[in-house]
Amino acid sequence: MRQIFLDTETTGLSADNGDRIIEIGCVEMLHRKLTGNNRHFYVNPGRDSHEEALKVHGITSEFLKDKPKFEAIATDLLAYLNGANVVIHNAPFDLGFLNMELGKLGHPKLNTLVLSITDTLVMAKELYPGKRNSLDALCDRLDVDNSGRTLHGALLDAELLADVFINLTRGQDVLLMDEGSSNGSEKLAGKLIDLSGFDLPVLLVNEQELAAHEDVLLQIDKSSAGKTVWRKLEQKGAENMT
């Protein structure tokens, strides 16, 4: 599965009232492994950021004045996102701005151009009801290092979101033996390690093993007078085909 973790920074909170995108960050993950094939755009919005927004992202109009307009980066962005599962934290906010920008250029809404859209805020609320589920709160809860996040930045936030997502879905957690002891005895300690660099082999059974497995199933089936679950499912499947 190809996933793109996406974040935006904007001039303010309301696309309907004329606020615009000023930064887009995208991080690619393929089969739950970061690829390094990321995208990062600064965008000239043609207007100033609100004071409160500027305090959040720190991106000034002076810095953005020589950056491209959204229409100049739209083709590259859409080609990059095409066919991906796009993952966003608080998706309605970012989608509102992206769809507004795309609509100005005559493009359809983003959800019609990508495979799917996943909202990690919705996921987090289901897992941690009643708790704070901002990106910073999830980083703290899931031990994701966000010490470099003094200001919001789209690419950094997309990178943090990818780490948060892996922890939310528990895709790379394992138990390791800790050689430390308590009262002279060994103990188990849960630790997180990144398995993205490992290629785990797939071991296929041979004909002899398949035959032995089938023999065991036959013996169990015989002992239960043909009432095993798998036989009933086989019979039901055969009846549905006739």
Looking at the structure, do residues 73 and 22 belong to the same domain, yes or no?
yes
- Evaluate whether residue 218 is within a structural domain: yes
Asked if residue 101 lies in contact with residue 20, where contact means CB atoms within 8 angstroms, the answer is yes
Same domain membership, residue 87 and residue 6: yes
| pLDDT score, position 180 | 41
Do residues 168 and 142 make contact, with C-beta atoms less than 8 angstroms apart? yes
Closest of 98, 93, 125, 90 to residue 114, by C-alpha = 98
Confidence of residue 97 (pLDDT cuts 50, 70, 90): very high
Percent of the chain's residues with pLDDT above 90: 64
Q: Is residue 30 part of a domain?
A: yes
Residue 214 sits in the same domain as residue 114: no
- Pick the catalytic residue from 40, 50, 152, 213: 152
Residues 6+ apart with CB under 8 A from 234: none
Domain final residue, candidates 137, 168, 199: 168
Q: Evaluate whether 94 touches 57 at the Cβ level (below 8 Å).
A: no
CATH classification at residue 152: 3.30.420.10
Q: Is residue 194 part of a domain?
A: no
Phi-psi domain of 106 (left: phi exceeds 0; alpha: psi -120 through 50; beta: other) = left
Segment 18-37 shows an average pLDDT of 96
Do 139 and 220 have their domain in common?
no
Q: Identify whether 107 is a catalytic site residue.
A: no
Q: What is the pTM of this model?
A: 0.69
- Position 215 scores a pLDDT of 76
Structure tokens at 174: 């394992």
**Residue 50 sits in the same domain as residue 116:** yes
In this structure, the answer to whether residues 162 and 216 fall within a common structural domain is: no
For residue 222, give its domain range.
Answer: 207-241
Per-residue pLDDT, 201 = 73
Question: How many structural domains compose the chain?
Answer: 2
Structural domain includes residue 145? yes
Asked, for residue 176, whether it belongs to a domain, the answer is no
The whole-number pLDDT of residue 217 equals: 78
Number of residues that this document lists for the chain: 242
